Amino acid sequence: MIVSIHQPQYLPWLGYIHKMDQADAFVFLDTVHFKKNEWQNRNRIKTASGPQWLTVPVIHSFGQAIEEVRINDTVRWQKKQSQALVTNYGKAGYFEEISGLLSSIWEREWVGLSELNVFAARTIAGYLGVNTELFLASEMGELPDHPDERLIGIVKLLGTTTYIAGAGGRSYMEMERYEKRGVEVVFQEFNHPVYPQLFGDFVPNLSVVDLLFNCGPESLRIIRGET
């Protein structure tokens, strides 16, 4: 069994879905520190005037784990984001299908950011046909504090020896720790595809919802590089 691990991100980009799809088991690493102004509570869509952020407002303290971060329910972020999708993807080929799929994200009341992110990822993975088994790190008991030992611990808990790491891990992972513990590290190889988009020239590294609205059921084949 092959394991991949990543912090829960909001409406993640294509590379995140690819990493999930390449593994037999994917673990949402919700026990590490929340990082403000990164990808855990926001992502981008494409508009006629360029990329636009979809941001989930949060209430958090420095050093909080992602699983502890709460959503600021005094802000009407769901209505704003839903309208942004109508405005910018209303003419996309799969607008009705995907807006129906995503409607549950904006129709429910959310308390925790991690809960929202995991639900959205599960919903999208289910539509795409990604059959990877999904886990939460917060449900796996106490894990080591050291970043590499934490990952090794998760791999061992799942009873396997192969871990898919992001390509950037080559610059900071202490590979000797994995070798000593008998864990094989495979670095993700993802080439961002070019696919049909609205509004002119292609823009990469957007939320997967951009691909979904434009390509619908072909999206997973595009992520895999099969088209």
For residue range 110-156, list pLDDT tens digits in order.
Answer: 999 999 999 999 999 999 999 999 999 999 999 999 999 999 999 99
* Tokens found for residue 74: 């005094």
Integer Cα distance of 127 and 166 in angstroms: 24
Four-point Cα dihedral 198, 202, 205, 208, nearest 10: 30
Instruction: Identify residue 91 by its one-letter amino acid code.
Output: K
What's at 219, amino acid-wise? S
Which residue type sits at 218?
Answer: E
- Cα–Cα distance between 227 and 208 in angstroms, integer? 17
Q: How far apart are the first and last CA of the chain?
A: 27
CA distance 95 to 74: 29
CB atoms within 10 A of CB 74: 8
In DSSP terms, 42 is beta-bridged to 55
According to the model, what pLDDT value does residue 36 have? 84
**DSSP string covering 97-118:** HHHHHHHHHHHS---BHHHHHH
Residues of the chain with pLDDT below 70 are none
Distance of CA 149 to the CA centre of its chain: 22
Residue 148: predicted pLDDT: 96
The H or E element that residue 87 is part of is helix 77-89
Q: Determine the longest span between alpha carbons in the chain, in angstroms.
A: 54
Contact 174, 152 (CB under 8 A): no
CA distance 176 to 173: 9
Nearest to 110 by CA among 43, 63, 41, 64: 41
What pLDDT score does 12 carry?
97
Residue 173 one-letter amino acid: M
pLDDT in the model for residue 163: 97
Its sign, for the CA torsion 196, 134, 16, 21, is: negative
Chain position carrying tokens 């990469």: 204
Helix spans in 108-226 (H): 113-128, 147-157, 175-180, 208-215, 219-223
Q: What is the pLDDT of residue 216?
A: 97
